[in-house]
Amino acid sequence: MKEYIRGLSRKSIMMFFGSIYALALLVALFPPLYMWSSGIRFEILGIPFAIMYWLINGVVLGLTLWGLYIVEDIRGELDEDLLPATTPLTGE
Amino acid sequence: MLIMLGMLGVFYAIVIFILYTTQQKSSPTFDEYSVGGRSYGPWYVAMSYVNSWWPGSVFIAFFGLASGAGVFGLYGLAYSSLGVAMMYFMATRAWRWGAKYNLRSQPDLLGLRFNSRGTKVVASVIGIVSLFPWVVLGMQALGEVFQIASAGAWSVTTCLFVGLAVIVIRQYWTVKMGMRGLIMTDMFQGIVAYVFSAALCLILLSGIAGGPISFGTLGDVADQYLRVPGDGDSYGPFYLFALIFTGVVGSLCWPTSFQRIYTASSVRAVKSGTIRTVLISGVFYSLLMLVGIASTVMPAVADSPQTGWFTIMESYGGTWLLGLGATMVFAASMGHIDGSVQVCGLQIANDLVNSEKRQLTDSQLTKVAKGSMLAFMAAAAIVAYATFNMTRLQLLAQISYQGVVQLAIPLFLGVFWRGGNGKGAVAGMVSGFVTALVLTAIYPDDIAGLGSLTGGVVGMAVNLAVFLIVSKATGTTAEEKARVNEMFEVGKRPTRIAPVDLSFEDQIEELATNPAPEKI
């Protein structure tokens, strides 16, 4: 799995996580969506959907950021003392 | 009364004890004083961010929103989590530019990016002016905390004086220690204000504490509390959009928020700190709002939503729990005021007084920053006293929010796009700020004719148009383009895959064949 993540291009990683972030933005900012959720009493885990709508958006966003952090960590993109791009180190 | 005041006293004594034991004996450099020497790890960054993000009024105004209007209160969760996430995406470039060019404040970054002192000064003034009403409101909130803690035995004036005295004494350490004076106590203040309260909310909602509210109550709340603004009331469909949008873009516009990037020891610390901020902030705020929505079934809370937090504490646990609830508000207010006073002092010294023509030494910068913090705090204390019973101050705070988001246009475009110039940035920010100011003064809440958009959003549209037009009309020299290109090269992320799975011997061999480059 780690090798697969390292082999992906930066662009495809950002496309994936960026799309989820954009979706979370849409859920919070697009009036037809949040108006649709307004007033729905259908319960999920005992909580009405009108409330769950906002909670789910927050959870998805938090998990997305966490996922991106893990991926960037695996790819070694978080540390400042890394060497500039030369030959790959994994022997691929 | 003595029990509650005693609880506040114990909390305060611990804060002072932490400050006393962690102060440095030697006089700090300005880098140390302003951004803590860029040395703090993710937990410190996160706690400091959360402290500067949620003022004490989160337990009063935001809680009141949930217990008075229901699901509407959760808009704060959407904008804070989406907004804080922006810090993650901006972290690499902003932190590297900070370390490479020795940036200490958000206007510093804008001034550098657009090679324009005007941009730096305008951005700094907007930030300082916008924070001022919030510090005043924070000081007044402390007065209210003492009204609760004294159980009505002290007069309003006495409570305000005690609140002011307590925070002014606390600021002695902020002025003396600068950023270090915040970071060291933010951890403790944050645990009391946000972690303890989240745990308390969870206990209340679990139902094990008995009483009228629990998770189950959420299914019983009246229909009106499950509707967002714009659904069957006087607001238009864009009201919620406008609030969340300004919140998201405004998250990095507040000088206090952005400075957290520069206190971090690395890009990893910023990003890791951001994840923790979203976690702490999201869990705390969600639980607080769920308690607020559930408490709509309590008549005493429905009658006075703004004091709902205190009503619930008292009805569940009497004096002791009320004292704990007041201490949480006290901790949150203190953390927010500290951060604001510190960053405003820093910006006055670093962005406004210091300049190419009048370059100050490290010790002069520190002295000016200390003097500015004192002046800022004294002015806020005087205004807090003079306007204690004025509702217009709340309006001023609303205007300031719509105003500070005008920094977003040059900030976001400047960090993610190579175009634009200093003249466009200044013209855009000034026109956007004035537009937001005028519109919000006329329409304090929303503009009905525009589907309930707010003045800040309209100001941002004007800001963006002016920024692009003026930048295009005045043009950018080839030399300036080259300078900006060089900046973006500095901000590029490493493209190399980390030697995560290499053995220790392999790593040594790797380092021997590829010596580490100079640190930026």
Instruction: Compute the average pLDDT of residues B10-36.
Output: 84
pLDDT for position A80: 61
> pLDDT of B256-293, one tens digit each?
887 888 888 888 999 999 999 999 999 999 999 999 99
Q: Name which of B135, B202, B158, B171 is nearest B16 in CA terms.
A: B171
**What letter would DSSP give residue A44?**
E
- pLDDT tens sequence across B84-110: 888 888 888 888 888 888 888 889 999
**pLDDT greater than 80 at residue B247:** yes
pLDDT at B509 (0 to 100): 60
**Count of residues making up chain B:** 520
Backbone angles phi, psi at A47, to 5 degrees: -110, 130
CA–CA gap between residue B390 and residue B398 (Å, rounded): 14
Indicate the residue type of B43.
Answer: W
pLDDT for res B391: 65
> How high is the pLDDT of residue B77?
93
Question: Would the pLDDT of B199 be above 60?
Answer: yes
**What number is the ipTM of this complex?**
0.86
Q: What is the pLDDT of residue A83?
A: 39
Q: Is the pLDDT of residue B51 over 50?
A: yes
Q: Is the model more confident about B347 or about A1?
A: B347
Average pLDDT (B465-491) is 91
Of B85, B500, B517, the CB nearest to A84: B517
Contacts of B246 (CB under 8 A, 6+ apart): B79, B401, B402, B405, B454, B456, B457, B460
Nearest to A61 among B85, B238, B267 (CB): B85
Contact B118, B426 (CB under 8 A): yes
Looking at the complex, report in whole angstroms how far the Cα of residue B498 sits from the nearest Cα belonging to chain A: 4
Q: Note whether B219 contacts A48, CB cutoff 8 Å.
A: yes
- Please tell me the predicted confidence (pLDDT) of residue B394: 66
Please give the pLDDT value at position B393: 66
Q: What is the mean pLDDT of residues A31-50?
A: 93
Whether the per-residue pLDDT at B19 is higher than 90: the answer is: no
| CB-defined contacts A:B, below 8 A | 165
- pLDDT given at position B513: 54
pLDDT digits over A37-46, tens only?
999 999 998 8
Looking up tokens 């001023």, which residue turns up?
A: B396
Q: What would you report as the CA-atom Rg of chain B, rounded to the nearest whole angstrom?
A: 23
Q: What's the confidence (pLDDT) of residue B439? A: 93
Nearest to B136 by CA among B418, B367, B386: B386
Residue B520 is predicted with a pLDDT of 37
Distance CA B211, CA B311 (A): 13
Check residue B224 and give its pLDDT. Answer: 92
pLDDT confidence tier of residue B254, bands split at 50, 70 and 90: confident
For chain B, give percent helix, strand, coil, nearest 5. Answer: 80, 0, 20
Average pLDDT of the segment spanning B289-302: 92
pLDDT, mean of residues B324-353: 91
Asked whether residue A85 carries a pLDDT value surpassing 50, the answer given is no
pLDDT at B434: 94
Cβ neighbours of residue B517 closer than 8 Å, sequence gap 6 or more? A83, A84
- At residue B497, does pLDDT exceed 50? no
Q: What is the mean pLDDT of residues B168-193?
A: 86
Average per-residue pLDDT for chain B: 87
What is the structure's pLDDT at A19?
94
**How far apart (Å, rounded) are the C-alpha atoms in residues B113 and B259?**
16
Nearest chain B residue to A23 by CA: give it.
Answer: B82
Beta-carbon separation of A38 and B74 below 8 A:
no
Model confidence at A59, pLDDT cuts 50, 70, 90, reads: very high
Burial class (CB in 10 A: 0-12, 13-18, 19+), B155: exposed
Give residue A90's pLDDT band: very low, low, confident or very high (50, 70, 90): very low
User: B218 and A47 in contact by Cβ < 8 A?
Assistant: yes
The predicted structure's pLDDT at residue A68: 95
Helix residue ranges per DSSP H, B348-454: 362-386, 392-404, 408-416, 422-442
State residue B183's pLDDT score: 84
- Asked if A38 and B231 touch (Cβ cutoff 8 Å), the reply is yes
User: Is residue B360's pLDDT more than 80?
Assistant: yes
Stretch A1-8: mean pLDDT:
86
Average pLDDT of the segment spanning B393-398: 70
**Residue B306's pLDDT is what?**
85
Predicted local confidence at residue B290, as pLDDT:
96
Q: At B58, is the secondary structure helix, strand, or coil?
A: helix
CB contacts, 8 Å: A58 with chain B: 77-78, 81, 282, 286
Q: How far apart are CA B80 and CA B272, in angstroms?
A: 17
Q: Which of A28, A40, A58 sits opposite B244 (nearest CB)?
A: A28
Q: Do B126 and B460 meet the contact criterion of CB atoms below 8 Å apart?
A: no
Contact residues on chain A for B274, CB-CB shorter than 8 A:
65
Nearest 5 degrees, angle CA B119-CA B122-CA B126?
A: 135
SS3 at position B453: strand
Q: Do A57 and B293 touch (CB under 8 A)?
A: no
Q: How many CB atoms lie within 10 A of CB B17?
A: 12
Both structure tokens of B194: 């946000």
The pLDDT score that the predictor gives to residue A38 is: 93
- The average pLDDT across B325-347 equals 91
Is the confidence at residue B202, as pLDDT, over 90?
A: yes
Q: For residues B158-176, give the mean pLDDT.
A: 85
The Cα of B219 is separated from the nearest Cα of chain A by a number of Å equal to 6
Compute the distance between CA of residue B118 and CA of residue B107 in angstroms, rounded to an integer.
Answer: 10
Q: How many residues does chain A have?
A: 92
pLDDT of residue B505: 58
**How much is the average pLDDT of B41-69?**
89
Is B266 in Cβ contact with A80 (below 8 Å)? Answer: yes
Q: Do B497 and A88 touch (CB under 8 A)?
A: yes
Band of pLDDT at residue B429, cut at 50, 70 and 90:
very high
